[in-house]
Amino acid sequence: MDTLNLDLNKKYSYADYLTWLDDKRRELINGFVKMMTPAPKRIHQKLSFKLSFKLGHFFDSKKCEVYTAPFDVRLVEKDKTNDKEIINVVQPDISVICDLSKLDDRGCLGAPDLIIEILSPSSSKTDLKDKYQLYEKFGVKEYWIVYPDAQVIYQYVLEKGKYMQKGIFVQDEKITAHIFPDLEIDLKDVFTD
């Protein structure tokens, strides 16, 4: 299906998504297409690499796996796992999945344990509102939002079905994952020039 034929006001499913065989990056949020930028800025990629490297090193000897975008995460209702029923497909910057049964050749079917999104001007509204609500609804246990320019990470943890802000971490602090208490990242190593 050609990008020009997509109606951005129409709802689509994961089955439709699989037919879009071009080089455009998209996500589906509640069935609606969200176009992604072709390539993020260099600082975005640098932060993504540094954080995923730290996470990868930490989880190397554990049962959890770390994935970076582009990597499809299909967020599903328990009884709606058919491709035609799936209406939420996102590509988080970084995903940590500990229930390896959620992984298949196409990505992750179900909520990752930890998702990290690195804001860019074109993705801010989606990451701060749309994905925040989606991740909360589908049970992503912990969500970090990284502000590259301010060198800050906001940490949210799911408690009783709602995200609670657990901390705001700046470039000279260490962030500890709430759901992985042994995971500590020194942000001086992440937010470097």
| Domains of the chain by residue range | 41-186
Q: What do you get for the CA distance between the two ends of the chain, in Å?
A: 42
Is residue 46 exposed (0-12), middle (13-18) or buried (19+ Cβ within 10 Å)? Answer: middle
Q: Answer whether residue 123 shows pLDDT above 80.
A: no
Q: Answer whether residue 127 shows pLDDT above 90.
A: no
Positive or negative CA dihedral for 118, 124, 128, 129? negative
Class of domain 41-186: alpha beta
Q: Answer whether residue 153 shows pLDDT above 80.
A: yes
Contact 58, 183 (CB under 8 A): yes
Residue 97 token pair? 């999945």
